[in-house]
Amino acid sequence: MTTPGIPYQQALRAWHAATPATARPLNLPAQALLADFHPDRQPGAMVSLRVGASAGQQCPASLAALLEADSLLEDVDIAGAPVQDADVLIIGGGGAGCVAALTAARAGARVLLATKLRLGDSNTVMAEGGIQAAVGADDSLQRHFEDTLRSGHFVGDKSLVAALVSDGPDAIRWLIQEGMSFDLAGDGQRMGGTLLRKKPGGATAARLLSYRDFTGLELMRALREAVLLQPGITVLDRHPALELLSDGRGRCAGAVLHDLARGRSVLARAGATVMATGGAGRLHLGGFPTSNHYGATADGLVLAYRLGAPLREIDSFQFHPTGIAWPAHMEGALVSEAARSSGAFLVNGRGERFVDELQPRDIVAAAILREIREGRGVERDGQAGVFLDTPTLEQSRPGVLQSGLVTLRHLAHRAGFDPAVVPFLVRPTLHYQNGGVVMDVDGRTPVPGLLCAGEVAGGIHGRNRMMGNALLELVVFGRRAGATAAAHARGCAPRMVGLTHLADWRRALIAAGLPVARKAPMIFPAYGNFDIVSDRERAA
């Protein structure tokens, strides 16, 4: 239970008196800190899956309810539905989906790119801090590899991590060729464009590349423009996937999409399907606010799992340390790790620093939750958090809030204060799905014809993701999955396509005593008041 925190005005006085804050030792081993305070480790946080390829694995209860639900569709629902054929179907219009689509189309494939919202509406645009790649003379692929494995508690698949870091430098070159801008070092223009590098949490070298503090938005801008100009890609906005299609050989043969504008199903048949649907943040696991976009409702996990794809580390989620805690209407909005990378301190209600701000995210988040639970947090209008000391950062680096942390400054303006004068009140927010669908280094899942890329995929980050590896992952494995899908789709025209896999799934649900009345995917959060059945009936 959370102990009442230190009142805001009292905490402000303590912060003023102690500035710059003195460090207080953590006084708790990292593993004990995580065991006692990380949300994944709390009693009752997880349940065991009872059906499917990963039965027996631990999983949050709200996610398990979706993974073990029945389909929204029956065979009759797709009878007479319009059909679109392609070589490669990409499900998801964020960074990973766009990279996969570009790569597949440039390899000669006919690509259909289906998005739940609009092209680019995704978590990618919300990635602020940067992208990692070992491009510095003082860095190496080996160091990036070791940093990533260590930050993930040595659970990550070494072959996937090796692919991630090995492709990193070329991924940055590719992005620059696609038109993405990066920050340059102070004399970068004169020296011909030296990339500015910062040190992210958990890293042993400065390898974080960025564009101000909205790197993901700049990356998505470049990718979106490239997709819209690329021949061979057909984009279907506002077409979420309701079910994957299977053929007589047990392969994935595309998906049933739902046309939100017309309220009807569309059969998208393809020789290869790339799942790039992102994560599960909008499930608000553990009751936490989230930094995730509106469509992050675990659809890809649900559909892939129902078709037989195993999952891994789905009991592990990242809670970003610095989501806004006050004002309440902005709760969960992300204050980029770029602030801490630039030197902003975390300070409790006593004016003390209580953790190395550049420790891995799970440790920093757990340390903040410890301060709040043990009564050293800051309480304001019923909201509890700790201070992110942006005024001291501005004093030590004049102009940094104006030129380098633009998004942070806009957030403060929306909240009604000046970050050069008043610190942010922050607490952890649900941010990233560490695990996901099992895949190999080319994005292939154990289900023939089904690939994945981006946050929906598992195995790269282990039990904690390093800042900057998410944007790198979507480029590296988007390219790999797109190339593999294009090659795989040749000579794999779908045949005998339908929903045959659902019969076995329903038998498994009944045998396990699970309700077939529960349906998934969710499509939109419950507070969106969207009902797929009503939408179809409206169009009938």
Indicate which residues carry an active-site annotation.
361
What is the helix (H) or strand (E) element at residue 58, kind and residue range? strand 58-60
Question: Whole-angstrom distance between the N-terminal and C-terminal Cα of the chain?
Answer: 51
* Residue 436 buriedness (CB in 10 A; 0-12 / 13-18 / 19+): buried
Phi, psi of 333 (to 5 degrees): -60, 140
Distance from C-alpha of 226 to C-alpha of 295, rounded to nearest angstrom: 23
Cβ count within 10 A of residue 242: 24
Amino acid at 201: G
Tally of CA atoms within 13 A in the half-sphere of 498 that contains its CB? 12
CB contact burial 456-479 (16+ within 10 A = b; e otherwise): bbbbbbbbbbbbbbbbbbbbbbbb
Amino acid at 308: G
Phi, psi of 26 (to 5 degrees): -65, -35
Distance from C-alpha of 468 to C-alpha of 351, rounded to nearest angstrom: 30
SS3 323: strand
Can you spell out the DSSP letters for 94-109? SHHHHHHHHHHHHTT-
Distance from C-alpha of 332 to C-alpha of 296, rounded to nearest angstrom: 15
Phi, psi of 473 (to 5 degrees): -60, -45
Q: What is the 3-state secondary structure (H, E, C) of 238-286?
A: CCCEEEEEECCCCCEEEEEEEECCCCEEEEEEEEEEEECCCCCHHHCHH
Amino acid at 21: A
Distance from C-alpha of 123 to C-alpha of 291, rounded to nearest angstrom: 8
SS3 169: helix
Both tokens of 280, joined, read 């599960």
Closest CA to 475 of 90, 93, 92, 97: 97
